[in-house]
């Protein structure tokens, strides 16, 4: 070896978007999820000089853990569209070396994928009408 360290790679921070359903720790779980999503950008900046790409993925699917906490109508929709077996496709999409996406957060909802964008606004207080 020449003494130089070759570093490159992909990091997918898998965070739990629905893992707090029905539990006492829901607020803490939600905060950790937001932390994971927002920290992907900072970690991507640190990894960039080393060709390390960092993204976060928030999977949503009908699993044994979520099944007991959703209503029947919700369960039917989740069963049809939110197979947990499809979530890994998002991580697989982020893995190849020719994919240069970094610093982003994605929701992997079964076979559907969306980019998560968090922003702070002044908000709204008042009547919608």
What are the pLDDT digits (tens) for 70-82?
Answer: 888 888 888 888 8
* Higher local confidence (pLDDT), 64 or 114: 114
Phi-psi region of 110 (alpha: psi -120 to 50; beta: other; left: phi over 0): left
Q: How many domains does the chain have?
A: 1
60 vs 81: CA distance, rounded Å: 10
What residue numbers bound the domain in which 59 lies?
A: 14-116
In a domain, 125, yes or no: no
In a domain, 122, yes or no: no
In a domain, 60, yes or no: yes
Cα distance between the two ends of the chain: 70
In a domain, 99, yes or no: yes
Confidence band (pLDDT; 50, 70, 90) for 22? very low
71 vs 86: CA distance, rounded Å: 22
In a domain, 1, yes or no: no
Q: What's the confidence (pLDDT) of residue 21?
A: 46
In a domain, 121, yes or no: no
In a domain, 7, yes or no: no
Domain with residue 86: its CATH number is 3.40.50.720
Helix (H) or strand (E) holding 112: strand 112-116
List C-alpha distances in Å: 78 to 3, 10, 97.
Answer: 52, 29, 32
Q: Contact at 8 Å (CB) between 53 and 11? A: yes
Q: What is the pLDDT of residues 35-58, one digit of tens each?
A: 777 778 888 888 888 888 888 888
In a domain, 85, yes or no: yes
Q: State mean pLDDT over 21-27.
A: 55
The DSSP symbol for 5 reads P
112 vs 89: CA distance, rounded Å: 10
């Amino acid at each position: 070896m020449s003494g130089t360290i070759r570093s490159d790679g992909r990091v997918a921070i898998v965070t739990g978007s629905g893992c707090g359903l029905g539990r006492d720790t829901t607020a803490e779980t939600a905060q950790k999820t937001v932390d994971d999503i927002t920290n992907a950008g900072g970690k991507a900046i640190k990894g960039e000089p080393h060709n390390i790409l960092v993204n976060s993925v928030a999977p949503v699917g009908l699993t044994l853990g979520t099944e007991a906490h959703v209503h029947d109508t919700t369960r039917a929709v989740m069963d049809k569209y939110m197979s947990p077996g499809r979530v890994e496709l998002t991580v697989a999409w982020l893995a190849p070396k020719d994919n240069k996406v970094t610093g982003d957060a994605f929701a992997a909802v079964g076979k559907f994928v969306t980019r998560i964008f968090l922003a702070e606004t002044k908000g709204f207080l008042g009547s919608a009408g």
